[in-house]
Amino acid sequence: MGQKVTDQVAEMRSLPAGIDQRSPARHPDWLGPDDLALKIEEIREATNWEIPIQLKLGAARVYDDVRMAAKCGPDSIYIDGMEGSTGAGPHIATEDTGVPGIAAIRQARRAIDELGLRGKISLVYAGGIRNGGDVAKALALGADAIAIGHSVMMALNCNKEIPESDFEAEIGVPAGRCYHCHTGRCPVGVATQDPELRKRLDPDEAAERVYNFLHTLTLEAQMLARACGKTDIHSLEPEDLAALTMEASAMAQVPLAGTDHTVGVANYHKLG
């Protein structure tokens, strides 16, 4: 919204100050994978091949989308699972669209591997990563790395009542139910360009909270790797997992706990 396009933002993004801006869902420079491949080449030439290029995909038709994306020659492919969240999108989109991460990672991994591009294109997963267990599972299912959004925002103070804030009075909802990032009226000074609201966020204290969160998350993931007998979290693999429900078994393609049966895969453990 125009009220968020301050003089500072306008200068950084070459926009007119105070004017509403719209981001179209479709980029006019490409309509398919062939156009996208040309755009990637154009960007590589413009950056002298020094800047890694990442393609970010919402988890939908994961296998086909990742195959097409991989053929365009990016350095990494970022998959955003349905567990991811946003403070500016409609609830119906957050709650009822997308594919769960455990299914998306497996399909994306298979697509990259079948093209012979393992080790050449990194697979990054994001969506609902809250603790070291989520990290360990994502890596075991085939992700090369994970990305974190909302949980780090929470560490910054997102959705948390602080002495300077009053969510009920300023936003109209209690802390924890905000979802007003797009308004620029963030009561804790995280998602805003308002100079007075921004004063409510102490960057040094916030950085320490984020560090503590990431450090703890790393230790938790390492602990789970050791529990599986691994010396490196990147040595985690699907065989370290067991599904507790038939749905999880089918999506993650791992056997039900206590059995050698993987739902939806006939003789899965007898192939070859």
Cα 114 to chain center, whole Å?
Answer: 23
The mean pLDDT value of the chain amounts to 91
Model confidence at 267, in pLDDT bands (50, 70, 90)?
Answer: low
Given a contact cutoff of 8 angstroms between Cβ atoms, the answer to whether 236 and 254 are in contact is no
Which range, of 4-13, 122-131, 200-209, 215-224, averages the lowest pLDDT?
A: 4-13
Does residue 204 surpass a pLDDT of 90?
Answer: yes
Q: What angle do CA 110, 69, 53 make, to 5 degrees?
A: 115
**Tokens describing residue 17:** 């100050």
Termini Cα distance of the chain: 58
Cα 162 to chain center, whole Å?
Answer: 27
pLDDT digits (tens, 9 = 90+) for 155-182: 999 999 999 999 999 999 999 888 888 8
Q: What is the pLDDT of residue 181?
A: 87
Amino acid in position 49: W
Does residue 223 surpass a pLDDT of 50?
Answer: yes
Helices (H), the chain: 7-13, 33-46, 62-70, 91-96, 101-114, 132-141, 150-156, 167-170, 195-198, 203-227, 246-252
Does residue 272 surpass a pLDDT of 80?
Answer: no
Map out the domains of the chain with their CATH numbers.
34-148+229-262 (3.20.20.70), 150-227 (no CATH)
Does residue 270 surpass a pLDDT of 60?
Answer: no
pLDDT digits (tens, 9 = 90+) for 66-117: 999 999 999 999 999 988 767 667 778 777 888 999 999 999 999 999 999 9
Q: What is the pLDDT of residue 97?
A: 84
Percent of the chain with pLDDT over 70: 96
Does residue 130 surpass a pLDDT of 50?
Answer: yes
Q: What is the pLDDT of residue 268?
A: 52
**Tokens describing residue 75:** 């350095």
Q: What angle do CA 91, 147, 47 make, to 5 degrees?
A: 110
Given a contact cutoff of 8 angstroms between Cβ atoms, the answer to whether 116 and 181 are in contact is no
Q: How far is the C-alpha of 243 from the C-alpha of 251, rounded, in Å?
A: 10
Residue 80's H or E segment, with its range, is strand 76-80
